[in-house]
Amino acid sequence: MDSGIGLLAATAAVRRLRPDADLVLSLDPAGMPWGPRTPEDLTSRAVSVAEAAAAHAPDALIVGCNTATVHALTTLRTLLEPALPVVGTVPAIKPAAAGGGPVAIWATPATTGSAYQRGLIRDFAGGVPVTEVPCWGLAEAVEHADQTAIDDAVAAAAALTPGDVTTVVLGCTHYELVAERIRAAVQRPGRPPLALHGSAGAVAAQALRRIGARPRPEAPARGAVTVLLNGEQGVLPAPALAYDEGRLLQPVTPAL
């Protein structure tokens, strides 16, 4: 679940680990973006999106959004667990800091400088130089697959990223869809290869662990994909197909 196509990164990671899994993608196109909303409004919309997904009796629910995880995860777990395990998405600050840095955390302006993100830096990146980089308009540009706007937003964030950075944390799930464009913009000539840390792989693996399932990337069967748009069955928004992760989920057929 997510407000928009930021959930593609985690969904594609699940697909690669378990090609045979049936997938339900629950989106909130009428309410996205969630970032500028109040925590109370965001939580209300997240609950609606989650309940629409839960009606399809999934084995686990992935909250494929950093902002929704910050504000709504506790509420969602109170409502749905233990019957339905709920897995949140946390910026990969801990593994990024393990490399020694310097680290840049690319995140939405609402998350940058927040008590939540500062707490993660304090808990997991002590002693490592960390720069918080607000990425104005990047999530929205990715959501609409607006290539010019993506280039402009990536360039603006890259200009705010110190030249000695060795690692970038992709602190919004949308950013994972344009990871290589971010790498190309931040990589400096003569510097070691830039490390990028997203959350999708770890989130997918955690979802399988929560339900006691093993990865089966060699599974020959291909699971179905059901898309819910504000609770109603639909198809992936057209911009999703601009990304490898979206194309991996085609064709879309309803899960029974």
Q: Answer for the pair 72, 61: CB distance below 8 angstroms, yes or no.
A: no
Residue-level pLDDT at 35: 78
Grouping H, G, I as helix, E, B as strand and the rest as coil, residue 43 is helix
Confidence of residue 251 (pLDDT cuts 50, 70, 90): low
Q: Answer for the pair 101, 169: CB distance below 8 angstroms, yes or no.
A: no
Q: What is the mean pLDDT of residues 11-24?
A: 96
Q: What is the side-by-side strand order in the sheet with 167-170?
A: 130-134, 103-107, 167-170, 195-197
Rounded to the nearest integer, the mean pLDDT of the chain is 93
pLDDT tens-digit map of 36-50: 888 899 999 999 999
Indicate yes or no: pTM above 0.95.
Answer: no
Confidence of residue 18 (pLDDT cuts 50, 70, 90): very high
Q: What is the mean pLDDT of residues 66-92?
A: 94
Residue-level pLDDT at 101: 81
Separation of alpha carbons 56 and 233, rounded Å: 11
Q: Which domains does the chain have, with CATH numbers?
A: 5-89+201-248 (3.40.50.1860), 93-198 (3.40.50.1860)
Asked if residue 254 has pLDDT above 80, the reply is no
Residue-level pLDDT at 43: 94
Residue-level pLDDT at 6: 94
* Residue from 156, 147, 154 nearest 182 by CA: 154
Confidence of residue 110 (pLDDT cuts 50, 70, 90): confident
Q: What is the mean pLDDT of residues 161-190?
A: 95
Confidence of residue 169 (pLDDT cuts 50, 70, 90): very high
192-230 in b/e form (b: 16+ CB < 10 A) is eebebbbbbbbbbebbbebeeeeeeeeeeeebebbbbbe
Q: What is the mean pLDDT of residues 7-36?
A: 94
Q: What is the mean pLDDT of residues 227-235?
A: 96
Catalytic residue among 73, 93, 172, 202: 172
Catalytic residue among 10, 65, 90, 145: 65
pLDDT tens-digit map of 175-185: 999 999 999 99
Annotated active-site residue 65? The verdict is yes
Residue-level pLDDT at 190: 86
Residue-level pLDDT at 256: 46
With pLDDT > 70 as the criterion, what percentage of the chain qualifies?
A: 98
